[in-house]
Amino acid sequence: MVEILLTVRNVSKQFGDLRVLNSVDLDIQKGEIIGLVGSNGAGKTTLLRLLSGVYLPSEGEIRFENGESIEKARQRIGVVPESTGLYSRLTAWENIRYHSRLYGVSDEFAWRRTSQLASPLGMTDSLARHTKGFSRGMRQKTALLRALAHSPHLLLLDEPTAGLDITSARTLKKLILKLKEEGGTVVYSTHQLAEAEQICTRIVIIHNGDIRGNGTVKDILEATQQTTLEGAYVHLTKDDARPRFEAEEKSTKISSWWRQLFTGKLPPTVRGVDESE
pLDDT tens for each residue of 134-156? 988 889 899 999 999 998 999 99
The average pLDDT across 230-241 equals 91
Torsion angles phi and psi, residue 110, rounded to 5: -65, -40
Amino acid letter, 234: V
The average pLDDT across 267-274 equals 42
Specify the pLDDT at position 273.
41
Highest mean predicted confidence (pLDDT) among 101-110, 238-247, 257-266:
101-110
The answer on pLDDT for 247 being more than 70 is no
70-101 pLDDT, tens digit per residue, is: 888 888 899 998 888 899 999 999 999 999 99
Distance between CA atoms of 240 and 237, rounded to whole angstroms?
8
- Please give the residue that has the higher pLDDT: either 276 or 242: 242
User: Beta strand 4-15 with 18-29: parallel, antiparallel or unpaired?
Assistant: antiparallel
The answer on pLDDT for 187 being more than 50 is yes
Distance of alpha carbon 50 from the chain centroid = 11
Specify the pLDDT at position 221.
96
pLDDT, the chain, mean:
86
Tell me 69's DSSP state: B
The answer on pLDDT for 197 being more than 80 is yes
For the 4-262 domain, the top CATH level (class) is alpha beta
The answer on pLDDT for 261 being more than 60 is no
Question: What is residue 169's three-state secondary structure?
Answer: helix
Strands, E, within the chain: which ranges? Answer: 4-15, 18-29, 33-37, 59-64, 77-80, 154-158, 185-190, 202-207, 210-215
- Please give the residue that has the higher pLDDT: either 22 or 274: 22
The answer on pLDDT for 18 being more than 60 is yes
Specify the pLDDT at position 6.
94
Distance between CA atoms of 96 and 111, rounded to whole angstroms?
9
- Please report, rounded to a whole number, the percentage of residues in the chain having pLDDT higher than 70: 87
Q: Which of 35, 88, 75 is nearest to 217 (CA)?
A: 35
Based on the number of CB atoms within 10 Å of its own CB, is 276 exposed (0-12), middle (13-18) or buried (19 or more)? exposed
The answer on pLDDT for 189 being more than 70 is yes
User: Beta strand 185-190 with 77-80: parallel, antiparallel or unpaired?
Assistant: unpaired
The answer on pLDDT for 277 being more than 50 is no
Specify the pLDDT at position 248.
53
Distance between CA atoms of 61 and 65, rounded to whole angstroms?
13
What are the distances in angstroms from CA 42 to CA 22, 122, 212, 272?
A: 11, 33, 11, 36
Specify the pLDDT at position 70.
84
Q: Which residues contact 175 (CB under 8 A, 6 or more apart)?
A: 117, 120, 121, 144
42-54 pLDDT, tens digit per residue, is: 899 999 999 998 8
Distance of alpha carbon 196 from the chain centroid = 14
Specify the pLDDT at position 245.
61
Specify the pLDDT at position 225.
96
Specify the pLDDT at position 83.
82
Q: Which of 200, 202, 134, 191 is nearest to 168 (CA)?
A: 134
- Please give the residue that has the higher pLDDT: either 203 or 195: 203
- Please report, rounded to a whole number, the percentage of residues in the chain having pLDDT higher than 90: 54
Question: pTM for this one?
Answer: 0.83
Distance between CA atoms of 172 and 147, rounded to whole angstroms?
13
